[in-house]
Amino acid sequence: MMPELGFDDVVQPAWNVSPRVRALVTTRNGGVSEPPFGRWHDGADHSGGLNLGMKAGDDPAAVAVNRARLLQLTGAGEAAWLEQIHGAGIVRAEDALAHAQATGTPMRADASVTDRPGTLCVVMIADCMPVLLCDEAGSAVGAAHAGWRGLAAGIVEQTAQRVAELAGVDAASLHAYLGPAIGPDAFEVGADVRDAFMNGVDLAQRDATSNAFIAHPHNAGKYLADLPALARLRLQQIGVTKIVGGDLCTVTQRERFYSYRRDRETGRMAALIWIDEQA
């Protein structure tokens, strides 16, 4: 029997918020999936992966066990799983749960928010950046799936505004956590990606946005993009300055994280945030 999922297997934000706010990001460890969705280490046994993606090609029974382990670790109710489409759609987590229960299918969106204790906002990742948001008192929380398309479309700042509205606070007072994602030394993009950000930015942030794209030293016409820096700029534009994280790379840390860009056939991790019913 595989060891149960524990808090040593996940990443938790180092932020100064109410204990009512609970948040974590899973890694590739602590589940029951077999290779290529298993753990990665130097030993012979690469089983025990915590793939949470139903459409990754893994055994659905293994994914179901992995998801059950995750819910058991949180001690909360059902998670509001989404069908992520790399857009800027935001839903209430309780609406996503109701939709899944009524139809058997997840809602199509890339972020969810809630002010209901015990309801898990969750996004899946395998290189795209998860951004977790809350007010300091833990009145409302949100989770956004921020690949470059969603980020350029404004999903991070729009999710922050929705959390602020639910909490009854100004967006500038929110806390944000930037979770594991493809790092600036690994995220090679074309000029179209750079243009998507440069064309949508105001004059005050134009230089900082440009600085988040470094000309690739070995591939003419390509850039290395700094996804965490771009997310920080988007948040700072609406006054959010309490931002932590953004320093964990899914591509280079193979023993900890799944990475679609690195492996193609790979699992999915999850970033979750919720309000503790007991706190």
Mean pLDDT over each residue of the chain, to the nearest integer: 93
**What is the 3 state secondary structure string of 99-168?**
HHHHHCCCEECCEEEECCCCCEEEEEECCCEEEEEECCCCCCEEEEEECHHHHHCCHHHHHHHHHHHHHC
Residue 2 binned pLDDT confidence (cut-offs 50, 70, 90): low
pLDDT at 193 over 60: yes
CA atoms within 13 A on the CB side of 154: 8
pLDDT at 9 over 80: yes
Q: Strand 111-114 to strand 107-108: parallel, antiparallel, or no bridges (unpaired)?
A: unpaired
Q: Where are the domains of the chain?
A: 7-181+240-275
pLDDT at 1 over 60: no
Separation CA 274–CA 53 (nearest Å): 20
Handedness of CA 276, 39, 270, 240 (dihedral sign): positive
Question: Do the Cβ atoms of 82 and 58 come closer than 8 Å?
Answer: no
pLDDT tens-digit readout, 214-253: 999 888 889 999 999 999 999 999 999 999 999 999 999 9
What is the mean predicted confidence (pLDDT) over 24-41? Answer: 91
Separation CA 209–CA 192 (nearest Å): 14
CATH architecture under which domain 7-181+240-275 falls: 4-Layer Sandwich (3.60)
Burial letters for 210-242: b for 16+ Cβ neighbours within 10 Å, e otherwise? eebbeeeeeeeebbbbbbbbbbbbbbbebebeb
Predicted structure pTM score? 0.95
pLDDT tens-digit readout, 34-92: 999 998 766 565 779 999 999 999 999 999 999 999 999 999 878 999 999 999 999 99
Task: Choose the weakest-confidence range: 15-29, 30-44, 70-84, 261-275.
Answer: 30-44
pLDDT value of residue 107: 95
pLDDT at 17 over 70: yes
What is the mean predicted confidence (pLDDT) over 164-179? Answer: 98
pLDDT value of residue 191: 95
Separation CA 140–CA 136 (nearest Å): 9
Separation CA 109–CA 95 (nearest Å): 11
The DSSP letter of residue 195 is H
The identity of residue 76, as a single letter, is A
What is the mean predicted confidence (pLDDT) over 247-263? Answer: 95
pLDDT tens-digit readout, 99-134: 999 999 999 999 999 999 999 999 999 999 999 999
